[in-house]
Structure 1
Amino acid sequence: MKTFAAVAGKIALSFIVVLLVSVIVGIVYTIIVVASGTGVEDIESASQNSLWIQIIQTILFIASALGMYALFERKKKWALGLRQQDGGVMLVHGLLAGILLISLSAVLIWAFGGISWTSGEWNSQLTKALLKGLLLFIFVAVSEEVYSRGYVQGLIRYHYGSKAAIIVTSLLFALLHSMNPGIFESPLPIINLILAGVIFGIARELTGGLWWPIGMHLTWNYLQGNIYGFNVSGTIMDDSILYATDKGPAWLSGASFGIEGSLISIIMLLAGITAVYFLYRRKSRA
């Protein structure tokens, strides 16, 4: 019971630190925006669309995970997962897995009539949006994996084993997205996010580090939003190479939540979990 309270307390503390610093950053940002002459009614919109605010939030998660690990866990010798001997190879594997799974999901949704596609006009605005999206999703992938699969999963695994760690972090991963627009329009977004947590968690255990999950997380988000034109976990992207128009039904198209609100995505993630388990379990045993 004492161990459980200590583990839960550390996870809660790591999140509270991020929350408090985020509030401080938000207050400072608001003061700067108001001082620049921006109307109060435009502050919320400006903060949501600010690339640097979004990046600062991801950095806070990375800093929280590294700080908590350094203060409380480093002497216990369990690995956070960033130092990985074959990390470069695993990163490439993850990048390719993300490309394959999200592309199959998008094409199947289109093939079954869930969406239609139109091409965007290639110009400086699109180029800027593609670079902005790539930078943002690199930070998102690294921060969410370092925090969820690195610190939290490592902490729980150290005390309770891998199965408990994967289950808890998958639920936590879905919970971290609970404020995203459209997440409760149906049960499908939550199921998708839990399954995404499962495939990331299993990959982290079987490959021995964070680079596979970071790779898949990056390409899954980036292609979904900036290439195929879907909302990413309910978030509307600035611009994309293709524009997806929802044709319904919601269980197929994903509606306003994007591919992660679709039944197709659930099927692809289940297939991905199965493939990762059998492929890397053999290598792990070897």
Structure 2
Amino acid sequence: MRKVLKNRYGLVRSGWIVFICMALFYALTGMASMLSVEILRKILIATGDINDTTGYMSSLALAIDDALPVALQILMEIVIILLSISVWKIMRYQWRDLGLRDFSKSFKKDGITGLLLGFGACTMIFLILIFTDNVRIDSVRPDSYSSLFWWIVALLLVGFGEELFCRGLLMSVLRRSNNIYLIMALPSVIFAGIHLFNPGVTAISIVNIILIGIVFSYSYYKSGNLWMCIGYHITWNIFQSVIYGMPVSGLNISSIMTSHYPAANLLNGGDFGIEGGILTTCVNVLLFLYLLYRYRTSTYEFLPDPHINFQGTSDTRKDY
């Protein structure tokens, strides 16, 4: 039984930790969302802003209902970030091994590049769709500036939180397996699984999310930091949705441009957005080729597990 739970160094096997992390992820995010909605509902019923019998909703209740999607998205990302940090502290890893080390140097080197790549990739696909009449711009008239602001905040947290959890935490935990293919593949599949129940999801969209997950994993594996992944993730989401008005992972949110797809197809990705199209597949492959070149001289050693020193003994030093 001990061998099932622990490896030869006496450390809990990475598979169990990943399982626990995922169980906590779904339990905490689900619980936070349901509790928030139920508490709000009871308050509004108590104040007379909602009447279940007549179906009445006051202007306040309608405003809260409109703001609920972005509020729940922000709440979920905060839960993910706090979960990642909490597990990290419990495991007593060194903070620099979470992928957020050396901000001033690493962000300038990789983070800004990631921001530019995410913007460039999304914009290139958008322009191709415009020129091929697979997306049409209806107007350039910003929605509520308040709504735009909060969706930008939400998408900033999405980029940071999902990369911290899927790459920073899960990839680092999987170091214990000493299997680089597993380290890169499993978090990428989990990353896709997080989007599995989004509106409009298709087989191609799941494949694309797994592919970009592997690209992000490779970046973290070769550089030791998450800033490239976080930067790309943030600008890809913001420009796709808030700026260009296309669905982002199946979600339609407040935007500056109002655009629509004349018909759903393999180029524009249909209801899921460009992440469900083959143009994104091509971009993911090109990005991976670029990273192969960019990190061709990288000397960063992702393995072995920082908890294990070169004498093969457990090392659980703190560095907070």
Note whether the superposition's TM-score is higher than 0.5: yes
Q: Select the structure of larger CA radius of gyration.
A: 2
The yes-or-no answer on 1:224 pairing with 2:234 is: no
1:178 aligns with 2:196: yes
Secondary structure of the equivalent of 1:252?
coil
Query: CA offset at residue 39 of structure 1?
Result: 4.7
- Structure 1, unmatched stretches of 5+, are none
TM-score normalised to the size of structure 1?
0.87
Q: Contact between 2:134 and 2:267, CA under 8 Å: does it hold in 1?
A: yes
- The answer to whether structure 1 residue 9 and structure 2 residue 11 are counterparts is no
Q: Is the 8 A contact 1:47 1:53 kept in 2?
A: no
Identity of aligned residues (%): 22
Higher helix share: 1
Tell me, in whole angstroms, the C-alpha distance in 2 between the residues paired with 1:121 and 1:268.
29
1:120 counterpart = 2:130: no
Give the aligned partner of residue 305 of structure 2: none
Contact 1:142/1:214 (CA < 8 Å) preserved in 2?
A: yes
- In structure 1, the residue matched to 2:79 is 60
Do 1:170 and 1:194's aligned partners in 2 also have CA atoms closer than 8 Å?
yes
Which of 204, 210, 214 pairs up with 1:194? 210
Once residues 38 and 153 of structure 1 are traced to their aligned partners in structure 2, the CA distance between those partners, rounded to angstroms, is 46
Q: Matched residue pairs, number? A: 280
Q: Which residue of 1 aligns with 2:315?
A: none
**2: CA distance, partners of 1:189 / 1:62:** 25
2: CA distance between counterparts of 1:181 and 1:227?
Answer: 20
Between the aligned partners of 1:244 and 1:284, the Cα distance in structure 2 is 45
Contact 2:112-2:231 at 8 Å conserved across structures: yes
Instruction: For 2:102 and 2:51, locate their aligned partners in 1 and report how far apart those are by CA, in whole Å.
Output: 48
Alignment of 1:38-187 (within 5 A): 38-39=50-51, 46=65, 49-74=68-93, 79-84=97-102, 86-89=105-108, 90-122=110-142, 125-184=143-202, 187=203
The code of the aligned residue for 1:171 comes to V
The question of 1:30 aligning with 2:30 is answered no
Contact 1:115-1:247 at 8 Å conserved across structures: yes
Letter in 1 for 2:30: L
Q: Distance in 1 between matches of 2:51 and 2:278?
A: 42
| CA distance, structure 1, for counterparts of residue 92 and residue 211 of structure 2 | 28
Unaligned runs of 5+ in 2: 6-12, 302-320
| Structure 2: distance between partners of 1:285 and 1:142 | 22
1:151-171 deviation line (CA, Å, top 9, x unaligned): 111111233333212100110
Shift of 1:209: 1.0
Q: Which residue number in structure 1 is paired with residue 278 of structure 2?
A: 263
1:281 aligns to what SS in structure 2? coil
Match of 1:275 in 2: 290
| Offset from partner CA, 1:123-169 (integer Å, 9 cap, x none) | xx453343222211111111111111111111112333332121001
- Residue 33 and residue 91 in structure 1: after superposition, are their counterparts in 2 closer, same or farther (change >3 A)? farther
CA apart distance, 1:48: 7.0
The RMSD of aligned alpha carbons is 2.6
Answer whether contact 2:244 2:255 (CA < 8 A) is retained.
no
Confirm whether residue 236 of structure 1 aligns to residue 252 of structure 2: yes
In structure 2, the CA distance between the partners of 1:197 and 1:35, relative to structure 1 (3 Å rule), is farther
In structure 1, C-alpha distance between the alignment counterparts of 2:220 and 2:51, rounded to whole Å: 45
Distance 2:211 2:179 in 1: 19
SS where residue 125 of structure 2 aligns?
helix
Q: Equivalents in 2 of 1:196, 1:35: separation in Å?
A: 46
TM-score calculated relative to the size of structure 2: 0.79
SS in 1 for 2:297: helix
Kindly indicate whether the alpha-carbon contact (under 8 Å) linking 2:263 and 2:270 is maintained by their aligned counterparts in 1.
yes
